[in-house]
Amino acid sequence: MFGTTNPFAEKAEDDGRDQYGSLLGDGFKGASEPLLPAPADIHVTLEVTLHELYNGCLKTVSYERRVLQLDGRSTKASNEELSVEVKPGYSEATVLSFSSKGNEAEGHRPSKLVVHFKQTAHESYRRKDNDLIYTHRLSLEAALLSEPVKLKALDGRTILATVDEVITPQTVKLVEGEGMPVSEGPSADALSSLRSLSLLPKGNLYIRFDIEFPKKLSIKHKQALIETLRANAEENNL
């Protein structure tokens, strides 16, 4: 007895081609119509401030992608928006990947949306890996008196650092544990992301000094300063 198998029921490769298409096209596994290339991933760069990278925030990414139309073959441009969580400690080395948020094409899975970060410059802070470098501007008098450094952290706290030496342009003050939060990475679980910023491990803070020297000194003041410096040098050599 002959079988009742329907030759039309066998599907072609699961690549999105029309199994009921033209006999000379891609129907019945026809090879006259080649598969379209896979859609390219979309790469976007998101500008963030050092303050946002320190504290974490939500940012909106706007981008354009190609989406399939109702015929399942042709595509059109579509403007999209996506909310992106910037976790404390993210950096320009952090890359976020969102599956199926990129371009669409016949016979393929949607590509990825890949988000990169670009940090804008900060007036006083500079980042180096997980450490922060802060430039403190002060007068010559304050430098000679070794006045304590009072600065505002990126989370709004006030940090007071004492300096036990005469401050020069080469002086660097280390404050341990006041650098950038150490990121747990995009794959961190939801519970980890809820941890308080104060509980996250941090890098170090390095304070450098930008001394504002007087533009003019009278001969009398110059002489007094020279004599004071000489006396101090002799005292330290004893």
Residue 22 vs residue 236, higher pLDDT: 236
Kindly state whether residue 128 falls inside one of the protein's structural domains: no
Kindly state whether residue 1 falls inside one of the protein's structural domains: no
Which of 62-76, 186-200, 220-234 has the least mean pLDDT?
186-200
Domain at 171, CATH number: 2.60.260.20
Q: Of 119, 145, 164, which marks where a domain is finished?
A: 119
Question: Count of domains in the chain?
Answer: 3
Q: From residue 109, how far is each of 26, 64, 105, 150, 200 by CA, in Å?
A: 19, 17, 7, 55, 38
Q: From residue 37, how far is each of 15, 31, 68 by CA, in Å?
A: 11, 15, 14
SS (H, E, C) 99-152: CCCCCCCCCCCCCCEEEEEEECCCCCEEEECCEEEEEEEEEHHHHHCCCCEEEE
| Statement to judge: residues 192 and 147 lie in one domain | yes
Residue 15 vs residue 139, higher pLDDT: 139
Kindly state whether residue 238 falls inside one of the protein's structural domains: no
Q: What is the pLDDT of residue 132?
A: 98
Q: From residue 234, how far is each of 115, 143, 149, 165, 237 by CA, in Å?
A: 60, 20, 28, 17, 5
| Statement to judge: residues 69 and 24 lie in one domain | no
Range of the domain at 191: 136-233
DSSP for 17-35? --TTS-TTTTGGG--SSPP
Confidence of residue 189 (pLDDT cuts 50, 70, 90): low
Which of 16-25, 32-41, 116-125 has the least mean pLDDT?
16-25
Kindly state whether residue 130 falls inside one of the protein's structural domains: no
Kindly state whether residue 131 falls inside one of the protein's structural domains: no
| Statement to judge: residues 98 and 81 lie in one domain | yes
pLDDT at 195 over 70: no
Kindly state whether residue 129 falls inside one of the protein's structural domains: no
Q: What is the pLDDT of residue 115?
A: 98
| Statement to judge: residues 13 and 45 lie in one domain | no
| Statement to judge: residues 160 and 108 lie in one domain | no
Kindly state whether residue 124 falls inside one of the protein's structural domains: no
Q: Which residues contact 49 (CB under 8 A, 6 or more apart)?
A: 119, 120, 122
Distance CA 5, CA 3 (A): 6
| Statement to judge: residues 27 and 43 lie in one domain | no
Confidence of residue 216 (pLDDT cuts 50, 70, 90): confident
| Statement to judge: residues 148 and 217 lie in one domain | yes
Kindly state whether residue 58 falls inside one of the protein's structural domains: yes
| Statement to judge: residues 83 and 163 lie in one domain | no
Which neighbouring-strand residues pair with 115?
A: 44, 96
Q: What is the pLDDT of residue 8?
A: 41
CB of 43 within 8 A of CB of 61? no
Q: Of 119, 145, 170, which marks where a domain is finished?
A: 119
